[in-house]
Amino acid sequence: MDRPFSKETVSRVLDELGIKDIAHATIRQTVAVAAKLEQMTGEKFVHLEMGSPGLPANRIGTEAQKRALDAGVASQYPNIAGIAPLKANASRFVKAFIDIDISPEGCVPTVGSMMGTFASIILCCNLDPSKDTILFLEPGFSVQPLQVDILGFKRKGFDIYSCRGERLRDSLESILREGNVAGILYSNPNNPSWVCLTEEELGYIGRLATQYDAIVIEDLAYLGMDFRKDLGKPFMPPYQATVARYTDNYMLMLSASKIFSYAGERLSTVAISDRLFHRKYDNLVRRFGIGELGNAFIYVILYALSSGVSHSAQYALAAMYEAACEGRLDFVNDTSEYARRAKILKGIFINNGFHIVYDKDLDEAVSDGFFFTIGRDGYTGDALVSELLHYGIASISLSTTGSHQQGIRVCTSMVDEESFKALDERLALFNSNN
Amino acid sequence: MDRPFSKETVSRVLDELGIKDIAHATIRQTVAVAAKLEQMTGEKFVHLEMGSPGLPANRIGTEAQKRALDAGVASQYPNIAGIAPLKANASRFVKAFIDIDISPEGCVPTVGSMMGTFASIILCCNLDPSKDTILFLEPGFSVQPLQVDILGFKRKGFDIYSCRGERLRDSLESILREGNVAGILYSNPNNPSWVCLTEEELGYIGRLATQYDAIVIEDLAYLGMDFRKDLGKPFMPPYQATVARYTDNYMLMLSASKIFSYAGERLSTVAISDRLFHRKYDNLVRRFGIGELGNAFIYVILYALSSGVSHSAQYALAAMYEAACEGRLDFVNDTSEYARRAKILKGIFINNGFHIVYDKDLDEAVSDGFFFTIGRDGYTGDALVSELLHYGIASISLSTTGSHQQGIRVCTSMVDEESFKALDERLALFNSNN
């Protein structure tokens, strides 16, 4: 049977937008293609491409932010290190949900984790003149390698798909042994595969980071969203898994975008271990005139990047951290909506002849959550993205995420009840055509 | 007569804060020293050091921002290129107060002009592999050269004090002739000297930028604050002076911090000339896969720096631009309070034996405004900063601003009526002791 969106229509839109191959388009270009096709045909797309929060912003945050605006903070430069209530509550939040002790001093707001990783990459690559490389556990968020490229540093990486457990340790060490790795960067849970590193694996990473004196940049954008356990009870186990239990060389990226559905205000906390914060580096003195890592991060790098973070939004984040610590804001329960959708979506794909690509954390099935990965026998990831576009389904290829596996990334956030039915019908048609 | 703050007390505080020489401290360290001295002695300081707005944030902005929060924008990633109403009203604002035509497309929000210049420096130094140098007209804002250093690019500069008119042209050309200048950066009105470049001088800069294919990064943080003319009537001459009348190679930095007293929300617009926005560069394709300057700036550099600007604050800025264009928000009249204070402060300094350092724009006295510069015969700028500290007066040395003149920068923003009297008494004491 004919595909809902014809070859001619799709080709015309891609031509108009100057896109040679949809599989190599950026996420935002893919969004534009789908919007244009919807507009031309009047047919709605199933949007599996965008990683935006699909939930409303937390009201505790917006109310606190409005109060701060009324109190007049908009005219005053924010403290670059972060306002005191944010720092105090961030420290408490880290203790409540990760069970790690970090002083308020080491909890520093950034303009999203985007700036958090950008600034951390600058910092790590300026600690030691012989270390200029960021090591990525792949797949990952495609803009992070771009940040390294923009800054002119070097990068390495490997796909964790076939490197779990001891093989992860061995792959890491083979690269660290070269002696030029300044930082190790990954997200956990992983974007896009939703792989969650195990305590064993985090132990390897932490101990190797100490041994080779590299700094782990751990992106916890999806904190608490390994829904196989309930990570949402403050100051009660189980806690979010983290490398921070296994090394002092860590900087945690705590984005408010997904945890509190606060992506619009561009807000994150970088939490630096106390020991690392106070460690002194000769090269920082040479480069920036300040030796202590934490102070160089704040008063040189963050100062020069944006001179701090939205003053009113810092009050929002402080209030949300506080409410979460006091059990008044159950962000894990709120975001478990993504897991509910993932379960349904995975079922629809599997019923129609598809399979999960990154399917296991060692011997356990991956959690349901914000993302998952889908493959189809006989299709590369790129070909699948392109073919699904003709069925009114927008997605991105795993090839754009540093993965060497064949498949697509599915994001659960923008999918509503109505889309479930459409997806099922379209995948059934795909299945009968293939 | 004894100085109000003794050598012992001042030395102790400097020691405690790890500051070897107050004249080489950062502005924020100076603030900390003054705060500590106030706390120890119970005596208030006269604060001439901080460049924070001394006026309340504009309510048109805060009300629009609160409405946007109520409408739910906090959960949604902002368009990285800027929300449509901000882009449209920024374009209109540029026409109304600068009399330059820039399409909405070329008006792009950044997280303050701090990020505006950081991103622009990255952009300019990636256009042509042979151009890796930013040329500064000095003195200037000390963090801008730091940005170049952090990024590992090169910089040159010269003090405009003795290079006005044709000598400015000749000094510029002698450096541009070397062929490695990617960008020319200055603020106008100038921080710290409050020099305003004349139309003649802007003409030289513009034509040379075109001839040597360098991009002018014009920091208009103090737009409209040359109070010798009334620059505050929308769509009516006289207009803010700008290099944009003399070249297409320009990017204007329009900070909301001082114009609308909106420093807390970290918000600025970078306005790029239409021709430059659409210019294609082979090196941008090689480096980032996008050839057009404007799109590389937005979708590569700004994306990677912060993934856009506070969604709610963009509505604030859009509303303030709109109100200014419609004559409902007279930001020039609002900020003329700084000129009133400058006039009084200059009088107090001069009556007590001090002089203005950067005193003229060619044959005209500099405007009163946000900053001015003060010298004292027999004192270097560094010595003057140090000595005034003992009189309870906090300031910064011109030596930290790229100036080769001897003196201090005075900021009028944080000085209230009460401080005028204290300043007069303390400077009289200084005068009788010297």
d(CA B196, CA B194): 6
Please say whether the dihedral angle defined by the alpha carbons of residues B9, B12, B16 and B17, taken in this order, is positive or negative: positive
d(CA A133, CA A156): 7
pLDDT the model gives residue B121 = 98
| Residue B264: CA count within 13 A, CB half-sphere | 26
Phi, psi (deg, nearest 5) at residue A4: -60, -35
Residue B195 has pLDDT above 80, yes or no: yes
Q: How confident is the model at residue B20 (pLDDT cuts 50, 70, 90)?
A: confident
Q: Is B213 exposed, middle or buried (0-12, 13-18, 19+ CB in 10 A)?
A: middle
B389-406 per-position pLDDT tens digit:
999 999 999 999 999 999
Determine the distance in angstroms separating the CA of B128 from the nearest CA of chain A, rounded to an integer.
Answer: 14
A75-84 per-position pLDDT tens digit:
999 999 999 9
Residue B32 has pLDDT above 90, yes or no: no
pLDDT the model gives residue A258 = 95
Percentage of chain A surpassing pLDDT 90? 91
Q: Are strands B250-255 and B215-219 parallel, antiparallel or unpaired?
A: parallel
d(CA B128, CA B145): 20
- Rounded average pLDDT over B93-121: 98
Asked if B174 contacts B204 with a C-beta cutoff of 8 angstroms, the reply is no
Q: Nearest chain B residue to A414 by CA: give it.
A: B76
d(CA A351, CA A343): 12
Q: How confident is the model at residue B26 (pLDDT cuts 50, 70, 90)?
A: confident
Preferred mutation among A49, A305, A317, A414 to probe B, highest tally of B CBs within 10 A: A305
The two tokens of residue B59 are: 């309510």
Give the class (CATH, top level) of A7-55+334-433.
Answer: alpha beta
The more confidently predicted of residues B344 and B15 is B344
| SS3 state of residue A285 | helix
pLDDT the model gives residue B218 = 98
Q: How confident is the model at residue B427 (pLDDT cuts 50, 70, 90)?
A: very high
A110-145 per-position pLDDT tens digit:
999 999 999 999 999 999 999 999 999 999 998 999
Judged by CB atoms closer than 8 Å, whether chains meet at A75 and B263 is answered as yes
Q: What is each CA distance from A72 to A321, B58, B267, in whole angstroms?
A: 22, 9, 16
Preferred mutation among B150, B191, B270 to probe A, highest tally of A CBs within 10 A: B150
Q: What is the CATH number of domain A59-325?
A: 3.40.640.10
For residue A260, give every residue at least 6 positions away whose Cβ sits within 8 Å of its Cβ, in sequence order, or none. Answer: A57, A58, A61, A317, A320, A329, A331
Please say whether the dihedral angle defined by the alpha carbons of residues A92, A93, A95 and A100, taken in this order, is positive or negative: negative
Identify any residues that bridge with B220 across adjacent strands, giving them in sequence order: none
Residue A330 has pLDDT above 80, yes or no: yes
Asked if A174 contacts A135 with a C-beta cutoff of 8 angstroms, the reply is no
Judged by CB atoms closer than 8 Å, whether chains meet at A80 and B307 is answered as no
Q: Are strands B364-365 and B360-361 parallel, antiparallel or unpaired?
A: antiparallel
- Rounded average pLDDT over A370-382: 97
Residue A52 has pLDDT above 90, yes or no: no
pLDDT the model gives residue B428 = 97
Q: How confident is the model at residue A294 (pLDDT cuts 50, 70, 90)?
A: very high
Mean pLDDT of chain B: 95
To the nearest 10°, the Cα dihedral for B186, B135, B209, B162?
70
Asked if B258 contacts B222 with a C-beta cutoff of 8 angstroms, the reply is yes
B25-37 b/e (C-beta count within 10 Å ≥ 16 → b): bbbebbbbbbebb
Phi, psi (deg, nearest 5) at residue A168: -65, -50
| SS3 state of residue A203 | helix
Q: Are strands B268-272 and B107-110 parallel, antiparallel or unpaired?
A: antiparallel
d(CA B408, CA B404): 11
- Can you say whether residue A281 is alpha, beta or left, with left for phi > 0 and alpha for psi between -120 and 50 degrees? beta
Residue A28 has pLDDT above 80, yes or no: no
| SS3 state of residue A121 | helix
pLDDT the model gives residue A96 = 98
pLDDT the model gives residue A289 = 86
Using N-to-C axis directions, what is the helix angle for B331-351 and B417-433, rounded to 10°? 20
Q: What is each CA distance from A142 to A150, A237, A298, B166, in whole angstroms?
A: 13, 33, 25, 49
The greatest distance separating any two alpha carbons of chain A, rounded to the nearest whole angstrom, comes to 68
d(CA A420, CA A424): 6
Q: Nearest chain B residue to A80 by CA: give it.
A: B28
A265: which chain B residues are within 8 Å (Cβ-Cβ)? 74, 310-312
B73: which chain A residues are within 8 Å (Cβ-Cβ)? 57, 264
d(CA B70, CA B72): 5
What single letter denotes the amino acid at residue A265? E
Q: How confident is the model at residue B51 (pLDDT cuts 50, 70, 90)?
A: confident
Asked if B320 contacts B262 with a C-beta cutoff of 8 angstroms, the reply is yes
d(CA A341, CA A416): 8
d(CA A371, CA A193): 7
A75: which chain B residues are within 8 Å (Cβ-Cβ)? 52-53, 55-57, 261-264
Judged by CB atoms closer than 8 Å, whether chains meet at A52 and B257 is answered as no
| Residue A366: CA count within 13 A, CB half-sphere | 27
Q: Nearest chain B residue to A51 by CA: give it.
A: B77
d(CA A222, CA A197): 13
d(CA A23, CA B104): 30
Determine the distance in angstroms separating the CA of A118 from the nearest CA of chain B, rounded to an integer.
Answer: 6
Asked if A117 contacts A184 with a C-beta cutoff of 8 angstroms, the reply is no
Determine the distance in angstroms separating the CA of B425 from the nearest CA of chain A, rounded to an integer.
Answer: 29
Phi, psi (deg, nearest 5) at residue A185: -120, 130
Residue A423 has pLDDT above 80, yes or no: yes
Look at the block and give the residue holding tokens 């984005």.
A255
Judged by CB atoms closer than 8 Å, whether chains meet at B261 and A75 is answered as yes
Residue from the list B70, B265, B307 with its beta carbon closest to the beta carbon of A74: B265
What single letter denotes the amino acid at residue A369? G
Residue B28 has pLDDT above 80, yes or no: no
d(CA A211, CA A173): 10
Phi, psi (deg, nearest 5) at residue A188: -145, 110
Closest C-alpha to A156, from A181, A128, A131: A181
Judged by CB atoms closer than 8 Å, whether chains meet at B66 and A61 is answered as no
pLDDT the model gives residue A400 = 92
CA A289 from centre of chain: 32
B209-266 per-position pLDDT tens digit:
999 999 999 999 999 999 999 999 999 999 999 999 999 999 999 999 999 999 999 9
Q: What is each CA distance from B234 to B85, B93, B98, B103, B197, in whole angstroms?
A: 18, 8, 9, 18, 22
CA B104 from centre of chain: 23
Q: Give residue limits of the domains in chain A.
A: 7-55+334-433, 59-325
Closest C-alpha to A49, from A406, A281, A317, A389: A389
In this chain, the answer to whether the domains covering B7-55+334-433 and B59-325 adopt an identical fold is: no
What single letter denotes the amino acid at residue B162? S
Judged by CB atoms closer than 8 Å, whether chains meet at A112 and B307 is answered as yes
Look at the block and give the residue holding tokens 């010798």.
B228
| SS3 state of residue A38 | helix
Q: Count contacts between A and B (CB, < 8 Å).
A: 182
Identify any residues that bridge with A156 across adjacent strands, giving them in sequence order: A135
The two tokens of residue A170 are: 């061995």
pLDDT the model gives residue B29 = 82
